[in-house]
Every structure is written in structure tokens, then in C-alpha cells.
Amino acid sequence: MESDLRKSLAGLPLGGICYLESTGSTNDAALAWAAKGAPDFSLVVADQQTSGRGRMGRKWFTSPGAALALSVILRPSEQERENIGLFSGLGALALVDALKNYGISAQIKWPNDVLVARKKTAGILVETAWMGADVESLVLGMGVNVFPAAIPPEAELNFPATWIQSEVRNPVERFDLLRSLMVALIKWRPRLGMGYFLREWQEALAFRGEIVQVWLGETETVIGVLDGLEADGSLRLVVNGAQRLIRYGEIHLRPL
Ligand code: ATP
Ligand code: BTN
């Protein structure tokens, strides 16, 4: 398996590659490697995660042989440090781009999920390690459901889920998809925060022009038309004719 992975990624400008058959969370493995000096754009991939996580300690399921679970260690430049809030968009946009190679048109459920046919097929979790006031390293964690076994039991889902292979006839090779994803990340990273980046991200937003409900924390909710994105990656809703900006945070978004 590891040699297939390395073959698939051959020639790409990655800092290093670490393959784990099974691990708690690739984000934890990546944060530990980053603390020991992993070079920029090092990649951790696991076949299985036993305690994969989403935001706010929610669980992310990765069963063996069925998904991609990966974390990319990035050492942000000074300019990238100003745009930490855009990295989740970077991961989402790269996956949307990679899926175009498979003829799949995917959407981004702001802020951190990728949908296919309005169902969740991937989740993104960005975590940072700080050195004083600066982000010293950033871990871009992505979980992608490729085969049906990747889908957790219904009771564990808070949003409908799907997998990539359900959309294409030819067998999907996980590591080919991983290569396409890395190529797309390498392509989009230098464009982080540029007009073209924001336009493409906005174009890919799920539920654009639709009425959505956004939960801000436990109790407060906003209902409005999903309008687009601001330059800092905030979501713009139109509520009773007025613009309302939603910043990345502990939010849930649903179509109504
Ligand atoms: P929401 O989906 O409500 O917007 P969220 O995006 O805030 O929630 P996350 O933290 O992003 O939630 O994702 C974690 C949730 O994703 C879990 O609580 C679970 O419901 C769901 N989940 C876990 N593993 C998978 C998987 N492999 N595929 C699809 N969904 C999953
Ligand atoms: C979410 O939807 O909240 C984000 C899920 C992120 C899952 C990926 S899988 C690889 C990496 N390791 C983790 O523990 N989480 C991320």
C-alpha cells in the first residue's frame, strides 16, 4: 500500500510523506511531526483513523480501504499568516478542482464540507500550532469518502452523506484521487486570497441564492439568502434586504 502511495505521488514537490496503516487522527500525527520540524508541504496519509475528528470534537469516521484521510503540514508565509481563515476554502477548492477530473461537479458547504449531489462527501479540519503570536505551522486535514464503506451509521450523521464512487462508473483509485488533490492544492496555494481564488470558491458554494438557516453557537440562528463570500472568506447572507456577514466559527448551515 505504502509503495503504491509513493508511486502515485512521485514527482510532486512534497516536503515528505508519512503513511500510516491505522492511526488515531492524521491531524494529530501531522501536528506531532510539525513540532519535530517537518518541512513545508509534508503529507500524512492513513488508511484508517480510530479517532478522526471534525470541528468542536465531533467524530469523523474513516474505515479502512474506503476513504482518504490525510493531513498536509504547511509552514505559512507571512502573507499566508494574514489569511489563515482561507485555508479551509483552499482545501475545499482543491478537492472541487480534483473532482472535475472525474466529471464530478462538487459544491462547498461553507465553511468546511464538500458536497456531491447535496450530500457530504468530504470534511476539512484546519488546525494550527502557534509560536508566540504567529502561526508556526498549519495542518490541513481532509477526509474524503470514496467507497460506500466510508459512510458511518445513519445514527452518527447530522447531514446526509455520500461517496465519490457513487458518481462514476470506472473504478476510482484512491491514490490517483489523492494525487489530483495534491496537484490542485499546489496550484491553488499561491492564489490564496486572490480575486480568482475567491471567485472560484464563491462559484462552488452550495445553496447559493437559496434560503438557508445558519446556527451561530447553541441558540442564535439567522435565516437568509446565501449571497456569496467576502474577501476574508466570511459568508454573506441577505436577511430582510440587508447584508449580514457570518464569520468562520462554530456554525452549522442548512438549506431550508
Ligand atoms: P454540519 O454537518 O452540521 O454542518 P459540521 O460540518 O459542523 O456539521 P463537522 O464537525 O464538520 O460538522 O463534521 C462532523 C460530523 O460529520 C459528525 O458529527 C458526523 O455527523 C459527520 N460525519 C462523520 N464522519 C463522516 C463521514 N465519513 N462522512 C460524512 N459525514 C461524517
Ligand atoms: C468536519 O467535517 O468537521 C471535518 C472532518 C475532517 C476529517 C479529516 S480526516 C483527516 C484529518 N484527521 C482528522 O482527525 N480530521 C481530519
Within this chain, do residues 151 and 72 fall inside the same structural domain, yes or no?
A: yes
Nearest to 27 by CA among 74, 73, 67: 73
Within this chain, do residues 245 and 137 fall inside the same structural domain, yes or no?
A: no
* Separation between Cα atoms, residue 137 and residue 126, nearest integer Å: 11
Does the bond joining 39 to the residue before it have cis omega, within 30 degrees of 0? Answer: no
Q: How far is the CA of 74 from the centre of ligand 2 (A)?
A: 16
Assign 2 to helix, strand or coil.
helix
CATH number at residue 251: 2.30.30.100
CATH number at residue 159: 3.30.930.10
* Separation between Cα atoms, residue 217 and residue 56, nearest integer Å: 11
Within this chain, do residues 62 and 159 fall inside the same structural domain, yes or no?
A: yes
* Separation between Cα atoms, residue 180 and residue 176, nearest integer Å: 6
The pLDDT of residue 250 is 63
Within this chain, do residues 186 and 216 fall inside the same structural domain, yes or no?
A: no
The pLDDT of residue 246 is 93
Amino acid 244 reads: R
Stated pTM of the model? 0.96
Within this chain, do residues 236 and 136 fall inside the same structural domain, yes or no?
A: no
User: Which domain-ending residue is among 203, 220, 236?
Assistant: 203
Within this chain, do residues 77 and 17 fall inside the same structural domain, yes or no?
A: yes
Q: Which residues of the chain have pLDDT under 50?
A: none
* Contact in structure between 121 and 145 (CB atoms under 8 Å): yes
Using CB distances shorter than 6 Å, the residues near ligand 2 are 25-27, 49, 52-55, 58, 60, 62, 69-71, 112-113, 123-125, 141-143
Within this chain, do residues 198 and 217 fall inside the same structural domain, yes or no?
A: no
The pLDDT of residue 3 is 94
The pLDDT of residue 251 is 72
Within this chain, do residues 199 and 215 fall inside the same structural domain, yes or no?
A: no
The pLDDT of residue 225 is 98
Q: How far is the CA of 16 from the centre of ligand 2 (A)?
A: 20
Within this chain, do residues 183 and 90 fall inside the same structural domain, yes or no?
A: yes
User: Which domain-ending residue is among 203, 222, 247?
Assistant: 203
The pLDDT of residue 113 is 97
Range of the domain at 123: 2-203
Within this chain, do residues 95 and 117 fall inside the same structural domain, yes or no?
A: yes
Within this chain, do residues 199 and 225 fall inside the same structural domain, yes or no?
A: no
Count of structural domains within the chain: 2
Pocket test for ligand 2, best of 49, 88, 146 (most atoms within 8 A of CB): 49
Tens digit of pLDDT for each residue in 54-77? Answer: 998 899 999 999 999 999 999 999
Within this chain, do residues 71 and 153 fall inside the same structural domain, yes or no?
A: yes
